[in-house]
A and B are shown apart, each in its own frame.
Chain A
Amino acid sequence: MIEGVVRKGEYEWELPVGFIPGMHVPGRFFLSDELTKTLEEGALQQLAHVATMPGIIHNSLAMPDIHWGYGFPIGGVAAFEYETGVISPGGVGFDINCGVRLLTTPLNPSDLAQKKEILDNLFDAVPVGVGARSSLRLSEKQLEKMMTDGARFAVAEGYGNSDDITHCEEQGRMKEADPAHVSRKARSRGVPQSGTLGAGNHFLEIQVVEEIYDEEAARTFGVEQGQVCMMVHCGSRGLGHQVCTDHLQVLEHAVSKYHIQLPDKQLACAPLTSPEGKAYFGGMAAAANYAWANRQIITHQIRSVLTRMCGIGYDDIRLVYDVAHNVAKIEEHEIDGKTRKVCVHRKGATRAFGPGCPDVPADYTHVGQPVIIPGSMGSSSYLLKGTDVAMNRTFGSTCHGAGRVLSRSQAKKKIQGKNIRETLGMAGIMVKAPHDGAIAEEAPDAYKSSSEVVSVVHNLGLSRLVARLEPLGVIKG
């Protein structure tokens, strides 16, 4: 382990105050011995940098999928006092409300004799890859509603049903959204991309529920063994990326205006109560709403294909839940015996609220919030549930995925997209992508084991395993 890091338990490690100058709180991260082999020193430096930010509470945290990111490490979680703390795009990322949703179907794998044709139709219905454009023609007014109302906008336009809304984090809409803080540039990137998947690690998968670990929770979430499911992973597209770029410029000046000392320019931030901080938060929330609407429109496209090709009803395809894993939220948490209003940044981390939390849908409240952890291409994805332990220890947060271990260039040098397609094909997993390069970059070997990451949060109780899903067909952006 890197010098200066203190082991605090089987899966817990601490960066003590003083690891770098200016830390207000310790850094704390969660890793198994196996996962320490791929830990990057740069990611730990970033974890320490976050600990120097004004108003941070208790710890700068990182989940077991920690790796080097922009500003915060990926897997980073930090809560800031509302009155004295800051908000930073570095704690959210360029892809605001990148997230994942899980849909169940009444199908089982034997109903997928036409799997190739289904995959082809999904590929045609959901625009993917660099340069892909939406067939939807959003007006200015519709874009404004999309940013204000999120998933509700999409449902009101006919792209879903009311259950979809109740089964989204924040009910698919951050009420603090203020489109006035979304620039013309961001809007012009958003208009042609509504309902598109994007590229990189974004995907749409046909999956099967392979194993149930928690019968009661699985029943509550409507998930059963052998069931075919669909998983969607994407975010706020160019609109969100531009919101981040635009506000970083403003916040760079805010750092000197408010005399904030930072060890890294990528952590540019402003007090939560300042005009600059409020503007970023309003713009970020509008982009988050765009992302929820985007995943909702993709859900409609999936339902349209499956109803047409598999003879099932539109409403037979049910949304289990939709989680954001790149976002900052104003939440109330019990801290040192008092309920306090804080801003929780989750950068490559998932909200994991436990049973009884008011923000968990009423039909899930006795179990806790569903937590969806996508695997890398060809590997297992997981459904977990939120816990009281997460509420007490990580501001209701857990991991978000596997986390890279190979750069994209290393992955492309080491792995041929064609070979991966063939290998996965032999395992019964069909892959469809605009180009083989996209497959090589996102190959399973380029990522940590999602199983190992999930086992750490399960063993710590930061979320608990409910079900394992295996891929049957993958569409890569």
Chain B
Amino acid sequence: MSFEERDHTADILMHIRAADTIGLFTDAGHALMKTMYRGPARPIEEVSVTITGQSLEHLLHGFLSELLFESEVQNIVFCEFEFQIRDGEVRAILRGEPFDPAIHGGGTEVKGISWYGLSIRQEQNEYACDVLFDV
């Protein structure tokens, strides 16, 4: 996993780097889950989602918004992600386990995924982006 929290007064700003777009989406997913929950999770339940969007940034924003929604509504802490990313579409399989406050409690409630500074850059041999979670 390659993400780190950077300072932002009001919200949670994550800097994410990966070798390819699938890695970037995977690490962004982990960054969101690590913000919301603590402790380990096992990949024992599975949810599939499909997101469409006009740009890679729209797809990442859409994926994270969907992950937040599924996690909150299904009450699942996701720990594994599998992607198929094509032009204008992401298909993802999310795996995790039901939220248990004794194991996963202690995180921060995320209200939404911000568009602040959300731009995916190709830097030398890797992809990088900043994502802000509104908390």
Using CB atoms, name the residue of chain B closest to A348.
Answer: B10
CB-based contact B9/A130 at 8 Å? no
Chain A nearest Cβ from B69, distance in angstroms? 6
Chain B nearest Cβ from A229, distance in angstroms? 26
A185-B69, A189-B69, A238-B72 as given contacts; A441 in contact with B99, CB under 8 Å: no
Q: Does A173 contact B (CB under 8 A)?
A: no
Residue from A40, A266, A437 within 8 A of B115 (CB atoms): A266
A67-B9, A131-B75, A188-B73 as given contacts; A408 in contact with B105, CB under 8 Å: no
Q: Does A245 contact B (CB under 8 A)?
A: yes
Instruction: Give residues 99-156 of A contacting B (CB, 8 Å).
Output: 129-131, 133
CB-based contact A70/B108 at 8 Å? no
Residue from A40, A189, A408 within 8 A of B135 (CB atoms): A408
Q: Main SS of chain B's interface residues? A: loop
Chain B nearest Cβ from A426, distance in angstroms? 24
CB-based contact B12/A477 at 8 Å? no
Residues of B within 8 Å of A94, CB to CB, are 111-112, 134
A189-B69, A245-B113 as given contacts; A200 in contact with B7, CB under 8 Å: no
The total of chain B residues at the interface (CB under 8 A) is 31
CB-based contact A437/B111 at 8 Å? no
Q: Does A273 contact B (CB under 8 A)?
A: no
CB-based contact A70/B105 at 8 Å? no
CB-based contact B101/A408 at 8 Å? no
Residue from B37, B108, B114 within 8 A of A200 (CB atoms): B108
Bound form: Cα–Cα A70–B134 in Å:
8
CB-based contact B105/A266 at 8 Å? no
Binary per-residue interface labels of chain B (91-135) against chain A in the complex, 1 for a CB within 8 Å, 0 otherwise: 000000001010011111101111110000000000000000011
Residues of B within 8 Å of A242, CB to CB, are 69
Residues of A within 8 Å of B5, CB to CB, are 409
Bound form: Cα–Cα A407–B108 in Å:
13
Chain A nearest Cβ from B115, distance in angstroms? 5
Residues of B within 8 Å of A63, CB to CB, are none
Using CB atoms, name the residue of chain A closest to B11.
Answer: A70
CB-based contact A131/B99 at 8 Å? yes
Using CB atoms, name the residue of chain B closest to A89.
Answer: B112
Using CB atoms, name the residue of chain A closest to B6.
Answer: A409
Residue from A95, A129, A192, A245 within 8 A of B101 (CB atoms): A129
> Which B residues are within 8 Å of any A CB, using their own CB?
5, 7-12, 36-38, 65, 69, 72-73, 75, 99, 101, 104-109, 111-116, 134-135
Can you name 24 A-B residue pairings with CB atoms under 8 Å? A67-B10, A70-B114, A74-B10, A94-B134, A129-B109, A130-B109, A131-B75, A131-B105, A133-B75, A188-B73, A199-B109, A200-B135, A238-B72, A241-B111, A242-B69, A265-B115, A266-B114, A266-B115, A266-B116, A405-B9, A408-B135, A410-B7, A434-B106, A438-B108
